[in-house]
Amino acid sequence: MPRMHSLLLLALLAVAIFSGCGSRKVVEIPQEYRSPALSRQDAGKGGTIPQVKAPPAVPETSQGAIFSPPPTIREKDLPEGTPPAPPVREEKKGGEKPQRLASMHLVDAAKKALGNGKPDQAIPLLEQAVQVDVYNGDAFLQLSRAWRMKHSRAKSLEFAKKAEILLQDQPAKLKEIYLLQAELYREGGDLKKSQAYLQKAGGIK
């Protein structure tokens, strides 16, 4: 009888255990939280899930995340109709051409030589000034003065006439040329022409 009671208790205990196991609830894991299934290739390497490296952290500022590196703006990114940047233009000093500036620099050096009574030093400078700018009336005027200092009235008158043509729009210098021509004609004995140029000079205010 004791053995029968023991077997009966064991049977009841086994039934209780199996019935308790059958009443357990299965917990479902949401799809978004499930790990990806291993492929056959991954399973052959040991069945471990490969580690995915996290993306590098974006630097933060007091105003939030910033771009690294900063974005660049290209010409094609500009909206249509945006006018292009104007080209940079190099302006010449005083609006003068480079040839005229170089020629006048030579004329200034020649004037100093003439002021020191050195026409032979001034003439080569003035001839070079004319080669640089053939329309430089001041160079011809100073050539006329230089050749007068060398007592060559013919050459002096020749250069004076060229200066007269080129300096028609400068009354003060034109008057200076008329007076120079009047003196040259007087020195040559042509008083009629000398008087005519004196009158021209007097007509300029």
Structural domains of the chain sorted by starting position, each given as residue range(s) with its CATH number in brackets: 96-202 (1.25.40.10)
Residue 78 has pLDDT above 60, yes or no: no
Of the pLDDT bands very low, low, confident and very high (cuts 50, 70, 90), residue 205 is confident
Evaluate if residue 184 carries a pLDDT over 80: yes
What gap in Å lies between CA 29 and CA 123, rounded to an integer? 108
- Is the alpha carbon torsion for 74, 76, 79, 81 positive or negative? positive
The reported pTM is 0.54
Among the listed residues 157, 165, 159, 105, the one whose alpha carbon sits nearest the alpha carbon of residue 129: 105
Find the mean pLDDT for residues 111-126. 96
Angle among Cα 105, 111, 114 to the nearest 5 degrees reads 145
Q: Rounded distance, CA 142 to CA 160, Å?
A: 9
pLDDT of the residue at 97: 86
Percent of the chain clearing pLDDT 70 (strictly above): 53
Question: Is residue 150 within 8 Å of residue 159, measured between CB atoms?
Answer: no
Q: Which residues contact 41 (CB under 8 A, 6 or more apart)?
A: none
